[in-house]
Amino acid sequence: MTPRPESTTRRPGRRPGPARSREDILRAAQSVFAARGYEGSTVREIARRADVDAALVHYFFGSKRGVFAAAVSDALRPAELAPAVLHGDPDGLAERMLRRFLTRWESPEQRRPMLAIIRSAVSNEVAAAQLSEFITDEVLGLLVGSVPADHAPVRATMVGSQLIGLIMVRYIVKVEPLASVDTETLVRLTAPAIQRYLTTDAPSGRSPDP
């Protein structure tokens, strides 16, 4: 009897992990974090959304915290903004930074994963700590070398607080008219305040003479 040829049809199941799997997991993680927040998200759900085994998530990222940290880095990507923002006249630093920053947030495709990160951080201490660490080390760290040495970390942190507050009011809480004002008007009105944080001489702290 002639043996049957082996079937070339693959059995259903999880697909193997190609080179794109890490990126697929990040996209899935951002989607899950956006829908469920950090606390309500699980590695199993992220793996299911990415159509991979949970073991592959652990292989790439170690834990849910590791996935979240990578999702933060992937969503914010400060190194991509740095050359265009930091190179140029120091007096225009705030305007360049704010315009690039808002351009990214105005794109629905780019805004979606960033909103997931912010919302998770607002509702969970672990996510907030992860985001704070990333902003301090990766985002504000890029600014420290571009501002006056006096109080440089404080200056950079003040800029960060201004930007995060802007995100909350414009894109999350959506307070009018700030939520609807055009980007150029927002840049024109906000950049001078941020520029002061960056380059204005800090007061000496001495009390005025009587």
Do the beta carbons of residue 46 and residue 29 sit within 8 Å?
yes
Burial of 128 (0-12, 13-18, 19+ CB in 10 A): middle
- At 116-174, the pLDDT tens digits run 778 788 878 888 887 777 777 766 667 766 666 677 778 878 888 888 889 889 988 89
Alpha-carbon gap, residue 139 to 160, rounded angstroms: 8
- What's the CATH code of the domain at 67? 1.10.10.60
> Global pTM?
0.67
Total domain count, the chain = 2
- 103-120: pLDDT as tens digits: 888 888 778 778 877 878
Last residue of a domain, one of 49, 72, 95: 72
- 27/120 same-domain check: no
Answer yes or no: do 91 and 141 share one domain. Answer: yes
Q: Are residues 116 and 67 in the same domain?
A: no
39 with 113, same domain: the answer is: no
Q: Is residue 98 domain-shared with residue 182, that is, in the same domain?
A: yes
Q: What gap in Å lies between CA 81 and CA 188, rounded to an integer?
A: 20
Based on the fold, state whether residues 68 and 81 are members of the same structural domain.
no
- Least Cα distance to 102 among 157, 176, 175, 179 occurs for 179
- Of 72, 93, 109, the domain-final residue: 72
Q: Domain of 149? A: 77-199
Does residue 104 or residue 28 have the better pLDDT?
Answer: 28
What's residue 7's pLDDT?
A: 43
Q: Kindly state whether residue 205 falls inside one of the protein's structural domains.
A: no
Among 167, 107, 106, which Cα is nearest to 139's?
167
In a domain, 109, yes or no: yes
Question: Is residue 139 included in any domain, yes or no?
Answer: yes
Q: For residue 45, how many other CB atoms are within 10 A of its CB?
A: 17
Does the pLDDT of residue 8 top 70, yes or no? Answer: no
Here the CATH number for the domain that contains residue 143 is: 1.10.357.10
CB 57 within 8 A of CB 63: no
- Flag whether 12 is in a domain: no
Whether 183 is covered by a domain: the verdict is: yes
User: Two tokens at 127?
Assistant: 């996510």
